[in-house]
Structure 1
């Protein structure tokens, strides 16, 4: 039996547990438009194929491990630079970049940073990377 899915195989959504919902929403409501994501609701955002939503939870809720980081596709190096400039102007916690990462691929250009909860995020332009 063949079934057709609107979005194909992939991740449907990612749920972020955060310590301060309002602080996280202020941060992501500025970051996401820079990288082409839009608001679905007050607490959720989409790029058209995936959804990320935020939920405030008591700290510590329990001892679970999460992902190391999430990397968002950037449509150009200028998008990566814009995120880097926004982080610099707002006192964001930049880990590295914006910078090329030729050890990954000659086209790889990235900025890595932490959100208000300490989550590691990356915005990278990788036009020659094969997924």
Structure 2
């Protein structure tokens, strides 16, 4: 067994309707919480990669599966920074930024990405 490998998620791939729009959207807030764009189609936090693949001819359907993706903010003010970055983009917000009772100092914002994926950025100390 390779001792440098640890259990976890290696990568996530999203199918999107407009790659350019999606990359601009995620690039507007992911760097604020420590992610870097590492290619024309992907971001990494140093241990995990998110890829986006354009699939223009697919129709999004409601189905069972992942409800939302939550990005960790290491500082509370990053949640507010994400909110400010997304406000100018006509982002549809679900809630926040606000404190939630899930744990002490849990602070979150939930919103939809351009294809309707529920996305959260939360500070969860």
Using structure 1 for the length normalisation, give the TM-score. Answer: 0.87
With over 3 angstroms needed to count, the CA separation of the structure-2 counterparts of 1:73 and 1:63, relative to structure 1, is closer
Deviates more, 1:74-83 or 1:64-73: 64-73
Task: Determine whether 1:79 maps to 2:78.
Answer: yes
Of 96, 104, 107, 2:105 maps to 107
Is the 2:13–2:52 contact (alpha carbons within 8 Å) kept by the matching residues of 1? Answer: yes
Is the 2:28–2:86 contact (alpha carbons within 8 Å) kept by the matching residues of 1? Answer: no
**Unmatched tracts of structure 2, length 5 or more:** none
Equivalenced residue count is: 124
Q: Structure 1 residue 61: deviation in Å?
A: 8.2
**Unmatched tracts of structure 1, length 5 or more:** none
| CA displacement, residues 5-26 of structure 1 (integer Å, 9 cap, x when unaligned) | 24x1100000000011111011
Is the 2:41–2:51 contact (alpha carbons within 8 Å) kept by the matching residues of 1? Answer: yes
> Matched residues in 1 for 2:108 and 2:75: separation?
10
Q: What residue is the counterpart of 1:18 in the other structure? A: 16
Is the 1:110–1:124 contact (alpha carbons within 8 Å) kept by the matching residues of 2? Answer: yes
SS in 2 for 1:107: coil
> Matched residues in 1 for 2:36 and 2:89: separation?
20
Give the CA RMSD over aligned residues.
Answer: 1.8
> Matched residues in 1 for 2:88 and 2:120: separation?
17
Is the 1:87–1:94 contact (alpha carbons within 8 Å) kept by the matching residues of 2? Answer: no
With over 3 angstroms needed to count, the CA separation of the structure-2 counterparts of 1:62 and 1:50, relative to structure 1, is same
Using structure 2 for the length normalisation, give the TM-score. Answer: 0.91
